[in-house]
Structure 1
Amino acid sequence: MTEPTLERRRVGQTILEVTTLGLGGASLAGNYTAVPAEQARATVAHALKSGINYVDTAPHYGFGRSEHLVGDALREQRGGVVLSTKVGRLLKPVHGQDWPRDEWIDPLPFREVFDYSYDGVMRSFEDSLQRLGLEKIDILYVHDIGTATHGIEGNKPLWEQLKTGGYKALRELRDGGLVSAIGLGVNEWEVLMDAFTLGDWDVFLLAGRYTLLEQTALHPFMSTCLERGASVVVGGPFNSGILVGGSTFNYAKAPDAIIARVRAIEAVCQDFGVPLPAAALQFPLTHPAVCNVLPGPRSPTELDGILDWWRLEIPPELWSALADQGLLAPGTLTRA
């Protein structure tokens, strides 16, 4: 049986086109939950077989583990796949000593050093190519710059690195054809507005800030993307799990107000016979700046569940009903 063809959308003003559903590589690296290597590789292979053509990874994910696993799978089927990874963290070997493992289960033996400078970006790009074992990276994101990760004072020197050198490196890589698109991958939209002051970008990976539960990025960020011709990849469509039956929001226990809002959204979804996770997955695509939604399944079985939600036809009236009940931000844009 032939799999249904997934819709594709253009990335910014580039020649890249991505399927509207992608595969995130953080969970595959053992993000809080162990994922055997063969299972991770099988998940990537299953995504490609199912018609997904966009895969995202990063040096941070498992301290290189995700890039190795994604590369293993893509070396078997690279043609037509759009691959993104990230810069901003260099990996240094720990030489047998103990090291902070953060949220990763069984990461590779490296520690991270933040570096957004010209040399840091170039080194990170070359290191990623080696870990992936591939000749090309299509999209290169600046990873986790901003106050959410580094604090107000800690971010200042790192932003200066990006401003005075890192952005130049990214432009050189894109202008030289070594990558096809550049952007930022973060959890806060405010820093993306700052990024627009540095120059032009093709695409932003924004996690958690434009979802069925939260549309804080709507104005001015999403509207500016339309004006500047930049696309948005929406990461974290389930807001850390709260929209798929979990109790976590923004990587922490969900407060009562968030739980109440989720229940209200779910009640409207039930009126239309739509599972909440299906609505959460498909909602971001109602905005014309969004080119892709990026969940992070841990196995082929989890991916099959996501594909079932993805293929479910959702009546446009559902979004109108949510808006009428004040459960979507005023002015939320929808595609005709």
Structure 2
Amino acid sequence: MAARTFEKRRVGRTDLEVTTLGLGGASLAGIFNGVPADQARATVSHALDMGINYIDTAPQYGLGRSEHVMGDALRESKVDYVLSSKVGRLLKPVNPAQQDKGNWVDPLPFNQLYDYSYDGVMRSYEDSQQRLGLSRIDILYVHDIGVATHGAEANKPLWQQLADGGYKALRELRDSGAVKAIGLGVNEWEVLMDAFALGDWDIFLLAGRYTLLEQTSLDPFLTTCVERGSSVVVGGPFNSGILVGGDTFNYAKAPEEIVTKVKAINAVCQEFNVPLPAAALQFPLTHPAVCNVLPGPRSPAELDGILQWWDVTVPDELWTTLAAKGLLAKGTPIPGGVA
């Protein structure tokens, strides 16, 4: 496939600009299914060759594996890119026989320790530079803080770490120019509203909560982002598979009401001869706060499939028809108005 010119959108009030399509690094690290390192590196290189400039990774992904393979590919790159990684987990060496591998098929021999403190954030940032083999990380997210990951009680002291020192560390890194933007990367929008009370953020990576299937983050979160000048990267645009022909929603078997809604959305897509995944991929960008959609292909071939969906022209009438049938939340921005 030939390279294309993607639209770029600005990250918050920073000077960073990202292509509206990005490359997520979790799948490449072997979540649920193994991905050979050569294949992972080739996928990153292919994304850059195709014109994608935004690449996201994290220490958690493969317990260091994602940062290693992405760094290998990015060091070889002759094109400019915008790279994000995350803080909040420190990796500690462990005997592989005693390791908690989670959903990673072949992780590196580490266990993760949650630490959102000032020192934890600084250590995490420096460790990521070492694993990547790169001096530059452009965007730094606080990873998976919140009730969804930790539970209500366990999250309280971790949130206090962020409030007492972690946020200060992030501000220092941004103010010094070490990183260009700071934010949070989570699966729940509610904690992002709490984050606004701590201070100003440039960008949030929110997975699965503003998709063609679910717009629960629309208000007050996305409306607050517009007011505060913060951008949003939408991860998980396929809701972990249900919008791309799978049967999983939020990493579990989809309940019947979700399956029924997907069938209704798909019927509208078929009416306009638009593949459901193409509509799912392009939908989040109808909101002015959203700067990027971040799928996670496992190979160059999967990325080519995503690019084919990306190139499909979605008529405005598809969105208005979905709105008219009550398949989009009230107030969802669509071309020419709101649902």
TM-score, normalising length: structure 2: 0.98
Amino acid at match of 1:306: I
Q: Aligned pair count?
A: 336
Counterpart check, 1:244 vs 2:244 = yes
Q: Give the superposition deviation at 1:83.
A: 0.1
SS state at 2:34 partner: coil
TM-aligned CA distance change 1:209 to 1:246, over 3 Å: same
Q: What residue in structure 2 maps to residue 154 of structure 1?
A: 154
- Taking the aligned partners of 2:73 and 2:132, their CA distance within structure 1 comes to 10
SS state at 1:64 partner: helix
- Taking the aligned partners of 2:66 and 2:105, their CA distance within structure 1 comes to 12
- Taking the aligned partners of 1:118 and 1:230, their CA distance within structure 2 comes to 23
Residues 46-81 of structure 1: per-residue CA shift (max 9 Å, x gap): 000000000000000000000000000000116420
Q: Give the superposition deviation at 1:8.
A: 0.5
- Taking the aligned partners of 2:62 and 2:51, their CA distance within structure 1 comes to 26
- Taking the aligned partners of 1:274 and 1:283, their CA distance within structure 2 comes to 12
- Taking the aligned partners of 1:2 and 1:142, their CA distance within structure 2 comes to 35
TM-aligned CA distance change 1:177 to 1:335, over 3 Å: farther
Q: What residue in structure 2 maps to residue 123 of structure 1?
A: 123
Structure 1 residue runs of 5 or longer lacking an equivalent are none
Does the Cα contact within 8 Å between 1:9 and 1:19 map onto a contact in 2?
Answer: yes
Q: Post-superposition, which runs of at least 4 consecutive aligned residues in structure 1 deviate over 6 A? A: none
TM-aligned CA distance change 1:80 to 1:50, over 3 Å: same
- Taking the aligned partners of 1:39 and 1:222, their CA distance within structure 2 comes to 36
TM-aligned CA distance change 1:78 to 1:94, over 3 Å: farther
Q: Give the superposition deviation at 1:100.
A: 1.1
Does the Cα contact within 8 Å between 1:288 and 1:334 map onto a contact in 2?
Answer: no
TM-aligned CA distance change 1:6 to 1:101, over 3 Å: same
Q: Give the superposition deviation at 1:3.
A: 2.4
Does the Cα contact within 8 Å between 1:203 and 1:232 map onto a contact in 2?
Answer: yes
Deviates more, 1:26-35 or 1:73-82: 73-82
SS state at 1:63 partner: helix
Q: What residue in structure 1 maps to residue 29 of structure 2?
A: 29
Q: What residue in structure 1 maps to residue 46 of structure 2?
A: 46
Amino acid at match of 1:238: F
Amino acid at match of 1:103: N
SS state at 1:197 partner: helix
Taking only the aligned residue pairs, the percentage that are identical comes to 74
TM-aligned CA distance change 1:78 to 1:132, over 3 Å: farther
TM-score, normalising length: structure 1: 0.99
Does the Cα contact within 8 Å between 1:288 and 1:335 map onto a contact in 2?
Answer: no
Residues 276-312 of structure 1: per-residue CA shift (max 9 Å, x gap): 0000000000000000000000000000000000011
SS state at 1:297 partner: coil
Does the Cα contact within 8 Å between 2:320 and 2:334 map onto a contact in 1?
Answer: no
Counterpart check, 1:99 vs 2:79 = no
Q: Give the superposition deviation at 1:334.
A: 2.8
**1:188-267 correspondence runs (5 A):** 188-267=188-267
